Amino acid sequence: MGAYILRRLLLMIPTLVGIMAVSFIVIQFAPGGPVEQVIAQLQGSDAGDRLSGGGNDLATQGGDEGQYRGAQGLDPEFIKKLEQQFGFDKPPLTRFLDMMWNYARFDFGESFFRNTPVIDLILDKLPVSLSLGVWILLFSYIISIPLGIRKAVTDGSAFDIWTSGIIIVGYAVPSFLFGILLIVLFAGGSFFDWFPLRGLVSDNFADLSWWEKILDYFWHLTLPLIALSLSAFATTTLLTKNSFIDEIKKQYVTTARAKGLNERQVLYGHVFRNAMLIVIAGFPGAFISAFFTGSLLIENIFSLDGLGRLGYLAIINRDYPIVFGTLYIFSLMGLVISLVSDLIYTWIDPRIDFERRDV
């Protein structure tokens, strides 16, 4: 197992470099870089018109003011200073190698337009995304596993059929549409004004007692969590159901029943551990999925300033240190979680041996 872990860790390096390299190359052809952002602000032009108008890729930014849309009439020396400020006076390969060397030391630099270290911005926005991801994952597992077991035991019954219908509909409805409906109904839209519509906590959060802080925290999270939970538990529920059905049909279950064990003893004493192998081993991957999936739209709808919104604004503003910094961190987390998932498989079921498989 040690050799397998070492190989996986070593493979993370070229994988991570490849992800960053492809993203870096794509960014070179994205119109409207940071230099043009500054020029647009100076000229008073609209960034949206500039971006849709074609712009210029970073690989061709070389100091001639004619290369930048809207730069006519500006001092060439000023353009060169802008390029030096953003690091575009260096060749693309040099910029990429410098970036990867800094990222290897977890030095993500400063935002182009916020004058704040990227790592500080990520840590500042992390509580919102972490709150959504952790609670959605916990709620989905708390609901999905008992529901999946009940559906497996009552397979084909009226309960199984109508719950499957609800799950399919919930999975099909986009979370942001359901979020808008919740706002209309319960957040001062057209009916009730029961829940807040902005932020993770209230403005007077620091003055509240500890139990009032807990209530205030969940009061702000109620609607976003409901909107995300609608579809979050569908996959886990059906996975749990199908896994239990497969195990219930096996011979050892028949043998356990023949020994006189009741259904509860058979289900939770024998079937549960084998059936939950796939579900539990997939927990790390589910966490990453819950942490990132759908957060952008939900954060914008409910005015939550999290990592999704941070990344979206960074792309719009061409704030490349934030874009690449968050991409590097998320990619690294995904690779590590993938390894953790494999290790959990072997921990739950010792029969699985990755040493006998090619990586």
Domain with residue 244: its CATH number is 1.10.3720.10
Q: Taking the CA atoms of 326, 332, 338 and 342 in sequence, report the sign of the dihedral they define.
A: negative
For residue 88, the enclosing domain spans 2-118
Averaged over 329-333, what is the pLDDT?
86
Instruction: Looking at mean pLDDT, say which of 29-33, 67-71, 337-341, 353-357 comes out highest.
Output: 337-341
Q: If DSSP codes are grouped into helix, strand and coil, which group holds residue 350?
A: coil
Q: Measured between alpha carbons, how far is 178 from 167 in angstroms, rounded to an integer?
A: 14
Same domain assignment for residues 316 and 187: yes
Query: Which of these ranges, 47-56, 129-138, 149-158, 218-227, has the smallest mean pLDDT?
Result: 47-56
For residues 307 and 85, the model is more confident at 307
70, pLDDT greater than 60: no
Asked if residue 169 and residue 296 are part of one domain, the reply reads: yes
- 38 plus 136 within the same structural domain: no
> What are the distances in angstroms from CA 275 to CA 96, 270, 285?
46, 9, 18
Q: What is the mean pLDDT of residues 28-54?
A: 60
80 and 190 co-located in one domain:
no
CA 356 to chain centre: 32
The reported pLDDT for the residue numbered 14 is 93
Contact 67, 61 (CB under 8 A): yes
- Is the pLDDT confidence value at 55 over 60? no
Note the pTM of the prediction, 2 decimals. Answer: 0.72
Q: Are residues 172 and 305 in the same domain?
A: yes
pLDDT, greater one: 267 or 354: 267
Q: 177 vs 277, which has greater pLDDT? A: 177
The confidence score (pLDDT) of residue 62 equals: 40
Residue 120 to residue 111: CA distance in whole angstroms: 10
- Conformational region of residue 61, where left means phi above 0, alpha means psi within -120 to 50, and beta covers everything else: beta
* Dihedral-angle region of residue 249 (phi above 0 means left; psi in -120 to 50 means alpha; beta otherwise): alpha
Looking at 58, 93, 118, which one is the last position of a domain? Answer: 118
Are residues 57 and 192 both part of a single domain?
no
At 206-222, the pLDDT tens digits run 888 889 889 988 998 88
Indicate whether 103 and 249 sit together in one domain.
no
Say whether both 21 and 167 belong to one domain: no
pLDDT digit string, tens, across residues 140-180: 888 888 998 899 988 889 999 999 988 888 888 888 888 88
136 and 58, same structural domain?
no
95: Cα separation from own chain's centroid? 27
Mean pLDDT of the chain: 79
Single-letter code of the amino acid located at 229? S
Q: 13-17, 27-31, 282-286, 335-339: lowest mean pLDDT where?
A: 282-286
Residue 251 burial by Cβ neighbours in a 10 Å radius (0-12, 13-18, 19+): exposed
Per-residue confidence band for 80, with pLDDT thresholds at 50, 70 and 90: confident
Give percent above pLDDT 70 in the chain: 81
Q: In this predicted structure, what is the pLDDT of residue 355?
A: 63
Q: How many CA atoms lie within 13 A of 161 on its CB side?
A: 3
Q: Which residues contact 221 (CB under 8 A, 6 or more apart)?
A: 131, 132, 135, 200
Q: Same domain, yes or no, for 96 and 158?
A: no
Query: What total of structural domains would you count in the chain?
Result: 2
Q: Which two tokens stand for residue 15?
A: 């994988």
Domain boundary among 75, 101, 118: 118
* Mean pLDDT (whole number) for 2-26: 89
Are 246 and 312 within one domain?
yes
Tell me what pLDDT residue 22 has. 93
- State yes or no: pLDDT of 359 exceeds 50: no
Q: How many CB atoms lie within 10 A of CB 32?
A: 25
Of the two residues 246 and 49, the one the predictor is more confident about is 246
Higher pLDDT, 13 or 47: 13
Residue at which a domain ends, from 96, 118, 140: 118
pLDDT at residue 289 above 70? no
Say whether both 91 and 154 belong to one domain: no
Name which of 31-40, 62-71, 133-142, 189-198 the model is least confident about: 62-71
pLDDT of res. 295? 67
User: Which residue type, as a one-letter code, is found at position 343?
Assistant: L
